[in-house]
Amino acid sequence: MKVCILFIYSDDTIYNGMLQIQRKYVHKFNNVDSYFIKMDNSQNDDIIKNDDIISIKGNETLLNILYKTIKSFELLFENNYDFFVRSNISTIIDINQLLDTLEHLPKTNYYGGANIMILQWVGSGIVDNTYFGTHFTTGIGIILSNDVVKHFISNKDKIDYSIVDDISISIYLHKNMPECLDNFIKYRFFMHTLYTNIQDLNKDSFNKNTIFYRNNTIGNRNADVLIMNHIVNIIYK
């Protein structure tokens, strides 16, 4: 099995610190390729891959996260991955647990992840209640089988880029690949996300079901860097 992990990333002092922590472990798996994807409006080329950094021409905005995700899918699809995992720079992934879980998931028509929500608010491109009630996997960890990514690439002009990435992905699949929803529901409790807190995080916080460790301390991203490093040291020793 071959897996590609894409981490949403942008050039920033805090995020660069997170990048160095991610690099401590993500490249240690022979069957997993990990890339950090960003936007750069100053570059001449449409897309540049430099080692583990993929840079797409354009501005770093919330709604451009979906655009740089699809562009990265296009660039990497020929590598014949079984699964693509889309996460973010501040989420630590237990890759051993991820691989074990993926072995038990369908290799086709799969869309899912660890943190399922139901849309019931406006904002981030949602302007009314048209899509209220839509189940979606948040950007903490979106998992797509190869055929689903191929469908996105082949129909990239039909994707709604005016809606934030994780919700837009779900809306598209509801409309165009409804067969994915059967697997989405069937395996929705197969994974777990831990939202970390440096005050109470210890070895007892970790369990075999956790794959994604989400770090998003409001108003103190420096604390997230410390937590991330602590998590990596525990998981990967």
Residue for token digits 């890759």?
95
pTM: 0.94
What pLDDT is recorded for position 197? 58
Whole-number Å distance between alpha carbons of 51 and 27: 11
Task: Enumerate domains of the chain plus CATH numbers.
Answer: 3-189 (3.90.550.50)
Mark out the alpha helices in the chain (DSSP H runs): 13-22, 64-76, 95-102, 146-154, 165-176, 179-186, 221-236
DSSP state of 31: T
Number of helices (H), then strands (E), belonging to the chain: the values are 7, 12
Token pair of 9 as six digits: 């990333």
- pLDDT at site 195: 67
pLDDT, tens digit, 9 for 90 and up, residues 11-31? 999 999 999 999 999 999 999
Residues of the chain with pLDDT under 70: 189-208
